[in-house]
Amino acid sequence: MIVSLKHDADAGRVLNELAGRGLWVSRVERSASGSTVHYVIASHSQPADPADLARIDGVAEVTTPKPAHPLVAAQGPVVTVGGVKIGGASPVWMCGPCSVESEGHVLEMAQVLAKLGVTFLRGGAFKPRTSPYAFQGHGDAALGWMRRAADAAGMLVVTEALGEGHVPFVAEVADLVQVGSRNMQNFALLKAVGRAGKPVLLKRGMASTIEEWLLAGEYVLSHGASGVIFCERGIRGFDDSTRNLLDLGAVALLRHVHRLPVIVDPSHGAGRRDLVLPLGRAALSAGAAGLMIETHPDPGAALSDGPQAVPLAQLGPVLSDLGGAYAKEAVQ
Amino acid sequence: MIVSLKHDADAGRVLNELAGRGLWVSRVERSASGSTVHYVIASHSQPADPADLARIDGVAEVTTPKPAHPLVAAQGPVVTVGGVKIGGASPVWMCGPCSVESEGHVLEMAQVLAKLGVTFLRGGAFKPRTSPYAFQGHGDAALGWMRRAADAAGMLVVTEALGEGHVPFVAEVADLVQVGSRNMQNFALLKAVGRAGKPVLLKRGMASTIEEWLLAGEYVLSHGASGVIFCERGIRGFDDSTRNLLDLGAVALLRHVHRLPVIVDPSHGAGRRDLVLPLGRAALSAGAAGLMIETHPDPGAALSDGPQAVPLAQLGPVLSDLGGAYAKEAVQ
Amino acid sequence: MIVSLKHDADAGRVLNELAGRGLWVSRVERSASGSTVHYVIASHSQPADPADLARIDGVAEVTTPKPAHPLVAAQGPVVTVGGVKIGGASPVWMCGPCSVESEGHVLEMAQVLAKLGVTFLRGGAFKPRTSPYAFQGHGDAALGWMRRAADAAGMLVVTEALGEGHVPFVAEVADLVQVGSRNMQNFALLKAVGRAGKPVLLKRGMASTIEEWLLAGEYVLSHGASGVIFCERGIRGFDDSTRNLLDLGAVALLRHVHRLPVIVDPSHGAGRRDLVLPLGRAALSAGAAGLMIETHPDPGAALSDGPQAVPLAQLGPVLSDLGGAYAKEAVQ
Amino acid sequence: MIVSLKHDADAGRVLNELAGRGLWVSRVERSASGSTVHYVIASHSQPADPADLARIDGVAEVTTPKPAHPLVAAQGPVVTVGGVKIGGASPVWMCGPCSVESEGHVLEMAQVLAKLGVTFLRGGAFKPRTSPYAFQGHGDAALGWMRRAADAAGMLVVTEALGEGHVPFVAEVADLVQVGSRNMQNFALLKAVGRAGKPVLLKRGMASTIEEWLLAGEYVLSHGASGVIFCERGIRGFDDSTRNLLDLGAVALLRHVHRLPVIVDPSHGAGRRDLVLPLGRAALSAGAAGLMIETHPDPGAALSDGPQAVPLAQLGPVLSDLGGAYAKEAVQ
């Protein structure tokens, strides 16, 4: 909201009144003469009532800016995918290998994962790799393996569409179509994914602002996606102690202020297995609707990202610990 | 640790063996001829045994780098201040106003805070302000008010030493001497604070790497501080939706890998009251030993940082919720 | 290069010898016992001779890491596009409107630009826009207008391919195919653009490292592009005083260390017309082979990015000033 | 300036009129109903006339925000130190070793530097070092050596005050008192340095916004400094190819929009000798009033920062090349 002040207003008093209501005043502009003061404020978790603010002594006008992403703003905090509520009473787990390695491999994993309460089978068929000479994934074949493994185990499939050309096939196979970090502002892909009409898991770009992320969500919804779920996986930081810089403030903001469903990927966020549990727990406490976790029966033999994969045999206790963290949050 | 390989080693196999042990391989260097491979690895939460690694087929030598901050490395995860264990079985709360406003004001607050289980009274006597024309704090007088208020309520005092000249007086009054973000690499201050012999709460600089932060801790310990507790309060981000970018990956890293006590300040991290609870909970889940939270009986009348202060009347339920999050973590 | 030391080497002396040769020592690893020291060094502008380094007292072995991007490393500093050398004795200007607005508009501009010595007509046919509701460009029609305007004026065309589907048509029309910042790691697009066999102008991603940028160049070359020219247009910064953070250190590094052709876009770098001249001059001084500058006959009426467009009537003196800066650099 | 619009204004037309005048519109706020539009704009290099803007059809009011740093705003682009104009017709060179190593060493260097036209002898007496175990400088003795060397050669002295306690002595010895990056928001030091009444060279903090930098300048001026010169030395980046990220956009902004004198330190900006010349030239082209360059007769034997020091024997040709770049700029 934009709160404009009367020429003779006591600006300090008005600011205090706003702060007293818990409003987050993000920008203040004053004129040299002191005759005009403009406050620009973002809404609190508990939306403020413009009529109430207009009654504050010294306030001339309260206006609500037009939302830049009306479809995202209207969506709400729960998106249902294949009967599973994301953002509901139970946390959602999306687990699987970084790369899908063979049909047998993913069939076996899915059986184990389903028993642990994992609802989404994740896995890379087409891998975005920084180098053209790195393993690029098993492609279309791997998509078929995932679908059959998920069906056999009663799971859903989430996987990434790497290019416009693959969207129709990916959308046919996947229950939830993922857009990766490097493609968050690949607008041709966002439009193609939207047109497929499926729900979308939209990973945040490495240096994307919250506003750009929400607008990318608006792209997929305005082109036909049936829902959008945001996924924080770490942004670019200046310290190489962790692979990326996990921004849980953004998660809290999307969940508690914008009231949108967010999944967190602590595997990429930390890049190291030993921090997946504490950061996963922290993510759920901040408001995440679920987690995307890379796992592998034998991380030492994984085709990619072994150091961040949780050994499959340890995943059960990890998820049961994390389930407790979510339950605590859900009470709020 | 640095793992060097034999000239005829199968590098891929060695890497897999390391990943299989959950080791975080942060840098790999290969020669063009393939004849020499150097792996540089950081330790896992569960420290690896060099002798075990040396037995991997193809490994020539395993060496442990000399720690750059031996005193910090030797300190351990618990620091006791005035009989209160920071990093122990109970979470530590450090609460109070951004600026100390009057003796009566802080006396009353301390009485309430003590009853809520807050052990440290925090408050600014000297305020670091971006503008020379902003309120700079009530200075020495405010230090005295804090001390008397804390004594009357049976609390401890944590407050910031802003300049070398003030260190002796601050160290006399405070149980825990705070070094602020803007001074994390003010080496003259670090030395002076160290010489005072008190425990130090060291806030992370806005663009400081983990290594620089640990080395700043080494400064205070090597000059005589009786202990160092780290405090994450958010680093500089590129998005103004939140005041700072709270780096909970760094908290998990300090707690679980470096095994050091960390306090998190979600008030500055978010800059907005409505995110203090979810981010506080997330911080404890990530491994924080406690939280520093700004509070005020009437945030609308606060002399500084009103929008991020939790109203004193709401602090009780907030702390009781947060206590639960810590208990969950402590079980690990 | 990786310089490994003998067990009894005087490490400090070796480091000094390396520094004395102007070598940039980027990482040093030491063992606790002091028995092994590893130096990892990047090459200086004047490549060091491994045999010379091996003769330094205390050095055990000097190895040259395998280049991660061999095709980029082999390309060299000059790429010829339609008979125009980029990276040669004369600076290359790429000018035109942010968005192509009508056929007449671009025809007239091209006539003026050609007379000013501008060799490339730039202009957006498909625009990457943060919001789905913003003007997205006149599309295929605009591509035709640009081609006819360039032909009539004896100019070349550089324009962006926004999606894989458009690559064939864009590659048919353009002499130089641009990949935008937001698509620098859109690997499906990089492959499609490479397969078109044309030279590519590769803009740097907003948070891309130099290594990632070079590897993206390797993608287009390894898929068939006839050459790659890099374009710095500013990365994501934390200060909104300028639109982006122009990284001229990266330009100097690519030109003087990696010996590659780089174009700089000061219009996007600064986002404001009044800084285009000083930053354009600075870019050429740092080693840019040319500049991409947005211009418009009437910036106040531009469909997008008006504030950063140089008025067409002022472009002549600007380019003549900039030509002088390049001449100065070319002497080196 | 803040431009407020009439309720029935055609906002697009007003925006175009502003862009046509070359104004940089940094923030636009609109109400949902469209009835109120607020534009917040920063000034162009050529300051706009509020009366002219007020005549634009649809504009209700034009107000000029109160400057947050009035003393800095009033200072102007030239500061004279010991008779040498910084920001005048000639570029100013500040050269010397990273650390002052002995009296003879600095005496000899000063003789050579003076002959090359270097007016300021720079050198570290007290060194800010990330590790407490690194060489901290020769201290007070080194200050005396520098003063005598400068006097003998007819040069001026610029050196850093690392702590409040040292300010009086440093201010007695130095003609220009430097505040380092890590202390840019060490407010106790800024006040002490201001009180010394000398001109100040204020290095930018590693993650400081332009506004914070200008306010730090306001601190020293409001406490008595006779002038403030800003120094850009690179900010924290995410890529370790260069030591820091030199922000020449900030230099152009300070020089051409804020009209303040700026020195650039390409030695720290790049961290590597081979980029000092191209980045130095770029800095002068962007508007720098001079350069701070580390030099050493034998960089391989330097006590600190050898890899970034230009060998003293090569400094002459480097400075003569750089002088040409400045002359070119000065014509503008």
The interface predicted TM-score of the complex, written ipTM, equals 0.90
CA-CA distance, A301 to B12, in Å (whole number)? 9
Instruction: Supply the pLDDT for residue B320.
Output: 92
What is the three-state SS of B255-310? HHHCCCCEEECHHHHHCCHHHHHHHHHHHHHHCCCEEEEEEECCHHHCCCCHHHCE
Q: Please report residues of D whose CB lies closer than 8 A to that of A47.
A: none
User: Is B115 an 8 Å CB contact of chain C?
Assistant: no
The two structure tokens encoding residue B113: 């805070």
Amino acid at C230: F
Instruction: Supply the pLDDT for residue C2.
Output: 75
CA-CA distance, D158 to D193, in Å (whole number)? 13
Dihedral of the alpha carbons of B164, B168, B172, B175, in degrees to the nearest 10: 30
Amino acid at C60: A
Residue B266 reports pLDDT greater than 80: yes
The candidate with the shortest Cα–Cα distance to D230, out of D83, D77, D70, D120, is: D77
For range D80-106, the mean pLDDT: 94
Instruction: Supply the pLDDT for residue D330.
Output: 45
Average pLDDT score, chain D: 88
Q: Which residue in A has a C-alpha nearest to residue B244's C-alpha?
A: A249
The two structure tokens encoding residue B207: 């663009």
User: Is C211 an 8 Å CB contact of chain D?
Assistant: yes
Give the torsion sign (CA, B306, B307, B312, B313): positive
Query: Residues of B171-188 as b/e, b for ≥16 C-beta within 10 angstroms?
Result: bebbbbbbbbbbbbbbbb
Look at A274 and B45 and tell me if their CB atoms are within 8 Å: yes
Walk me through the domains of chain A, giving residue ranges and CATH numbers. Answer: 2-63 (3.30.70.260), 70-330 (3.20.20.70)
How many H helices and E strands in chain D?
A: 12, 15
CA-CA distance, C204 to C209, in Å (whole number)? 9
Query: Percentages helix, strand, coil for chain C, rounded to the nearest 5?
Result: 40, 20, 35
Residue C59 reports pLDDT greater than 80: yes
Q: Which of A52-66, D130-144, D156-170 has the highest mean pLDDT?
A: D156-170
CA-CA distance, D192 to B161, in Å (whole number)? 16
Q: Where residue B332 falls among pLDDT bands split at 50, 70, 90?
A: very low
Residue predicted with more confidence, A125 or B292: B292
Q: In whole angstroms, how large is the CA radius of gyration of chain B?
A: 22
How many CB atoms are closer than 10 A to CB B6?
16
Average pLDDT score, chain C: 87
C-facing residues of B in 135-194 (CB < 8 A) are none
Residue D30 reports pLDDT greater than 70: no
CB C253 within 8 A of CB D241: yes
Residue predicted with more confidence, C104 or D42: C104
Residue C293, H or E segment: strand C290-296
Q: Which of A301-315, B140-154, C26-40 has the highest mean pLDDT?
A: B140-154
Look at A29 and D61 and tell me if their CB atoms are within 8 Å: no
CA-CA distance, A113 to D23, in Å (whole number)? 59
CA-CA distance, D323 to D332, in Å (whole number)? 15
The two structure tokens encoding residue C331: 């002497």
Instruction: Supply the pLDDT for residue B331.
Output: 41
Helices (H), C123-209: 140-153, 167-173, 187-195
Q: Alpha carbon of B133 to those of A14, C47, D207, D221: distances in Å? A: 20, 53, 22, 12
How many CB atoms are closer than 10 A to CB C316?
14
Residue B86, H or E segment: strand B84-86
Look at C31 and B4 and tell me if their CB atoms are within 8 Å: no
User: Is B257 an 8 Å CB contact of chain A?
Assistant: yes
What pTM, to 2 d.p., does this model score? 0.92
Instruction: Supply the pLDDT for residue D47.
Output: 65
Q: Which among C40, C127, C131 is the top mutation candidate for probing chain A, defined by the most A β-carbons within 10 Å of its own β-carbon?
A: C131
Q: Please report residues of C whose CB lies closer than 8 A to that of D230.
A: none
The candidate with the shortest Cα–Cα distance to C149, out of C172, C122, C170, is: C122
How many CB atoms are closer than 10 A to CB D196?
21
Residue C20 reports pLDDT greater than 50: yes
Q: Which of A29-38, A57-66, C198-207, C306-315 has the highest mean pLDDT?
A: C198-207
Instruction: Supply the pLDDT for residue D298.
Output: 83
Residue B97 reports pLDDT greater than 80: yes
The two structure tokens encoding residue B124: 């600014």
Query: Could you report the per-residue pLDDT of D74-92, keeping only the tens digit for each?
Result: 999 999 999 999 999 999 9
Q: Which among D26, D235, D272, D332 is the top mutation candidate for probing chain C, defined by the most C β-carbons within 10 Å of its own β-carbon?
A: D272
Q: How far does CA C50 lie from the centroid of its chain? A: 30
Residue A32 reports pLDDT greater than 60: no
User: Chain C closest CA to D170's CA: distance in Å?
Assistant: 31
Q: Which residue in B has a C-alpha nearest to residue D71's C-alpha?
A: B132
For range D27-53, the mean pLDDT: 62
Residue B116 reports pLDDT greater than 80: yes
Query: Percentages helix, strand, coil for chain A, rounded to the nearest 5?
Result: 40, 20, 35
Q: Where residue B308 falls among pLDDT bands split at 50, 70, 90?
A: confident
Q: How far does CA D252 lie from the centroid of its chain? A: 11
CA-CA distance, C49 to C54, in Å (whole number)? 9
The two structure tokens encoding residue B282: 């997330």
For range A14-23, the mean pLDDT: 76
CB C158 within 8 A of CB C118: no
CB B40 within 8 A of CB B6: no
Instruction: Supply the pLDDT for residue C327.
Output: 63
Dihedral of the alpha carbons of B114, B118, B119, B120, in degrees to the nearest 10: -100
User: Is A322 an 8 Å CB contact of chain B?
Assistant: no
Instruction: Supply the pLDDT for residue C146.
Output: 96
Look at A36 and D63 and tell me if their CB atoms are within 8 Å: yes
How open is the CA angle A249-A253-A254, to the nearest 5 degrees?
120
Average pLDDT score, chain A: 88
Look at D29 and A236 and tell me if their CB atoms are within 8 Å: no
Query: Could you report the per-residue pLDDT of C264-318, keeping only the tens digit for each?
Result: 999 988 878 889 999 999 999 999 999 999 999 887 777 666 667 898 999 999 9
Helices (H), B10-165: 11-20, 50-54, 70-75, 103-115, 140-153
What are the backbone angles phi and psi of residue D232, rounded to the nearest 5°? -90, 130
* pLDDT > 90 fraction of chain D, expressed in percent and rounded: 58
Residue predicted with more confidence, D271 or B226: B226
Instruction: Supply the pLDDT for residue B37.
Output: 55
CB D291 within 8 A of CB C295: no
User: Is A258 an 8 Å CB contact of chain B?
Assistant: no
Residue predicted with more confidence, B327 or B323: B323
For range A25-37, the mean pLDDT: 56
Residue C106, H or E segment: helix C103-115
Residue D140 reports pLDDT greater than 50: yes
Instruction: Supply the pLDDT for residue C331.
Output: 41
Residue A108 reports pLDDT greater than 80: yes
Q: Which of A65-74, B128-137, D114-123 has the highest mean pLDDT?
A: D114-123
Residue B38 reports pLDDT greater than 70: no
CA-CA distance, D280 to D285, in Å (whole number)? 9
CA-CA distance, C124 to C99, in Å (whole number)? 4
Q: How far does CA D36 lie from the centroid of its chain? A: 40
How open is the CA angle A64-A68-A74, to the nearest 5 degrees?
85
How many CB atoms are closer than 10 A to CB D274?
21
**Residue C211: burial class (beta carbons within 10 Å; 0-12, 13-18, 19+):** middle
- The 3-state DSSP class for residue C121 equals strand
For range C94-98, the mean pLDDT: 93
Residues whose CB falls within 8 Å of the CB of residue A145, separated by 6 or more in sequence, listed in order: A100, A102, A103, A106, A107, A138
Q: Alpha carbon of C115 to those of A204, C109, C119: distances in Å? A: 45, 10, 10
Residue predicted with more confidence, C207 or B29: C207
For range A254-271, the mean pLDDT: 92
Residue predicted with more confidence, B45 or A210: A210
Tokens 């859903």 belong to: A156
What's the half-sphere exposure (Cβ side, CA atoms, 13 Å) at D167? 23
Residues whose CB falls within 8 Å of the CB of residue A72, separated by 6 or more in sequence, listed in order: A214, A217, A218, A221, A228, A258, A260
CA-CA distance, D276 to C257, in Å (whole number)? 12
Query: Could you report the per-residue pLDDT of C178-213, keeping only the tens digit for each?
Result: 999 999 999 999 999 999 999 999 999 999 999 999
Instruction: Supply the pLDDT for residue A300.
Output: 72
